[in-house]
Amino acid sequence: MTQTCGFVAIVGRPNVGKSTLMNRILGQKISITSRRPQTTRHQVMGIKTEGEAQFIYVDTPGMHLQSKDRNKAINRFMNQAATQALRDVDCVVFLVDRTRWTQEDDIVLDKLTHVEAPVILAVNKVDWIENKQDLLPWLDQLQAKRGFAAILPISAKHGTNVPELEAEVAKYLPESIHYFPDDQITDRSQRFLAAELVREKVMRQLGDELPYQMTVEIEEFRDEGRVIHISALMLVERPGQKKILIGENGERIKKIGREARLDMEKAFGAKVMLNLWVKVKRGWSDDDRALKSLGYDLE
Domain coordinates in residue numbering, the chain: 4-171, 190-294
Tell me whether strands 44-50 and 53-59 are parallel, antiparallel or unpaired.
Answer: antiparallel
Q: What is the mean pLDDT of residues 215-229?
A: 94
What's the whole-number average pLDDT of the chain?
Answer: 87
278/45 Cα distance (integer angstroms): 29
Question: What local confidence, expressed as pLDDT, does residue 242 receive?
Answer: 93
Long-range contacts of 238-241 (CB under 8 A, 24+ apart): 238/213, 238/280, 238/282, 239/280, 241/210, 241/211, 241/213, 241/214, 241/280
Is-same-fold flag (4-171; 190-294)? no
pLDDT at 10 exceeding the cut of 70: yes
Query: Full-prediction pTM beyond 0.85?
Result: no
> Is residue 299 very low, low, confident or very high in pLDDT (cuts 50, 70, 90)?
low
Give the annotated binding-site residues: 12-19, 59-63, 124-127
- What CATH number was assigned to the domain covering residues 4-171? 3.40.50.300
Please give the residue that has the higher pLDDT: either 67 or 162: 162
For the residues 103-119, what does the mean pLDDT come to?
91
The domain made up of 190-294 has a fold known as GMP Synthetase; Chain A, domain 3 (3.30.300)
Nearest-angstrom CA–CA distance, 122 and 115? 17
Residue 34 predicted with pLDDT over 70: no
- Indicate the pLDDT class of residue 69, thresholds 50, 70 and 90: low
Least confident of 19-23, 56-60, 90-94: 56-60
Task: Enumerate the known binding-site residues for GTP.
Answer: 12-19, 59-63, 124-127
The average pLDDT across 183-206 equals 91
SS3 56: strand
Q: Which of 41-45, 154-158, 278-282 has the lowest mean pLDDT?
A: 41-45
61 has pLDDT over 60: yes
Q: Tell me, what's the pLDDT at 31?
A: 82
